Each structure stands twice: as C-alpha cells, then as structure tokens.
Amino acid sequence: MKFFIDTADADEIRQAADLGLLDGVTTNPTLIKRAGLVREDAIKTICGFVPGPVSAEALGPDADTFISEGLELAKIAKNVVVKLPTNEAGLKACKALSDQGIDVNMTLIFQPVQALLCARAGARFVSPFLGRLDDVCSSGMDLIEELRVIFDNYGFDTEILAASIRSPEHVKQAALRGADVCTIPFGVIKKLLNHPLTDSGIAAFERDAGLH
Ligand code: G3P
C-alpha cells in the first residue's frame, strides 16, 4: 500500500518525507485554507519537492469550469493530479481530462457505483471517505472491500485511495481490505509507529546494555 499525506502544510510534508516512505500528497480547499495558503502557490511549493502524485482540487460548479481549472492546475507541474467531486459535472470533466492524459482523483466517494462510474471515466484514483462514513454509522471499510472486488472483477487500473483517515486502525483496516493508497493526516502518521510495549522494551534493552 502506498502512503500519501493529507495536508497542504509544507513542513508536515517535509517531516513525513524524511521517513522515506512518502509516495504522494492530497490537498483539498479545507486543508489549503487551514494552512493559510493560496491553492496555486501551495501546489507549486509541494510539487517542488515531492516527486509523487500531488492532488489539487479544481473548483466548479460546471463541467466546463472543472475542465478549464483542471487544465490550468495540470500546467503547474507534471505530477499534479486534478481532484474533482463525484457528481455529474465532475464525471464529465474526469472523462475529458483523462482522455487528454491528465491524471484525475475523484473525491467524496461514499458508495461503490460512484467509483465504478469514475473508473469507467478513466480516473487514476478514487477517494472513498472512510471517516465520514463511520461518522454516520456506515462502514467505510465495507466500501473499500466492495470497491476492491468490483475493480478486480473488471481489471480496472484505477487506484483505491482511502481518504478521511482518522486513526492507525483505519490505516490497518484499509490495508487489510486491499486499498492501493492511504492518504493520512500528519497527526495519524506520527502515531503509526507507536506502541507502549515497544517503548518499554527499548528502554529495558538500553538499560540492560548499560546505556543509561
Ligand atoms: O482526504 C480527505 C480528508 O481531507 C477529509 O478528512 O477528516 O475531514 O473527513 P475529514
């Protein structure tokens, strides 16, 4: 499973990249606002030091606007992935941009047939929002499982990008169910290595080795 970071904050991205396992970045208007940035500047900065896919969200509301925004965003860097909402306008724009060789990430996916349409429209990534489904007592993980079956049934190359990740348990479950990518907030990335038994074990070994 590939690891993306879900943030527009360059410091967080640099720290995650230092771990040596960062495959890409996802942003959205909320994350860009939270970082106090302008979208184009943020994407240009991130693409300056991240070689993997960097998702930048196009704003609509209609298909023509999504397409023209997507074309502009794609000019920023060759690793920009245009992020589009999963509605009729977004789907049309997905097809048009994908047909031109531009990578698209279809976002805000909450049920499997939405993702099936996006895969048919040529999306490189589909982003099911796990945490938000869990928030309304639905199972984000069932969605990943169903998407895996559907995409494998038809041999789609479209990657399942697990999003709205809130905990290390979400990361584990997404991996168990065959998500291709998990996009993880910085706070969750920092927790992925933690276990109190690891810490106490390291402390005991260091003590016994006379280190302190
Ligand atoms: O990747 C999507 C993410 O940014 C949304 O997360 O926690 O707002 O549902 P959340």
Among the listed residues 83, 92, 172, 191, the single catalytic one is 83
Ligand 1 midpoint to CA 117 (Å):
22
Taking only the tens place, the pLDDT of each residue in 182-191 is 999 999 999 9
Q: Would you mind telling me the total number of residues written for the chain in this entry?
A: 212
User: Strand pairing of 54-57 and 80-85?
Assistant: parallel
- The yes-or-no verdict on residue 59 having pLDDT over 90 is yes
pLDDT at residue 118 in the model: 98
Burial of 144 (0-12, 13-18, 19+ CB in 10 A): buried
* Residue 175 φ/ψ, nearest 5 degrees: -65, -40
pTM > 0.85: yes or no: yes
User: Averaged over 201-207, what is the pLDDT?
Assistant: 97
CA–chain centroid gap for 32, Å, is 14
Closest ligand 1 atom to residue 127 Cα is: 1
Q: Is the dihedral of CA 57, 68, 111, 182 positive or negative?
A: negative
Whether residue 107 has its Cβ less than 6 Å from ligand 1: no
- Strand residues in 71-194 grouped as ranges (E): 80-85, 104-109, 125-128, 159-162, 181-184
* Count of Cβ atoms closer than 10 Å to residue 133 Cβ: 20
The CATH architecture that domain 2-208 belongs to is Alpha-Beta Barrel (3.20)
- The yes-or-no verdict on residue 212 having pLDDT over 90 is no
Between CA 79 and CA 120 the distance in angstroms is: 22
Indicate the top mutation candidate among 164, 167, 188, 189 to test ligand 1's pocket, ranked by most ligand atoms within 8 A of CB: 164
Going by CA atoms, what residue is nearest to atom 10 of ligand 1? Answer: 164
Taking only the tens place, the pLDDT of each residue in 97-126 is 999 999 999 999 999 999 999 999 999 999
Please give the mean pLDDT across all residues of the chain. Answer: 97
pLDDT at residue 74 in the model: 98
pLDDT at residue 152 in the model: 98
DSSP state of 119: H
Between CA 112 and CA 135 the distance in angstroms is: 18
pLDDT at residue 171 in the model: 98
Going by CA atoms, what residue is nearest to atom 9 of ligand 1? Answer: 164
| DSSP assignment string, 6-72 | E---HHHHHHHHHTT---EEE--HHHHHHTT--HHHHHHHHHHH--S-EEEE---SSHHHHHHHHHH
Between CA 23 and CA 9 the distance in angstroms is: 16
Q: Is 83 a catalytic residue?
A: yes
Whether residue 103 has its Cβ less than 6 Å from ligand 1: no
Between CA 22 and CA 131 the distance in angstroms is: 21
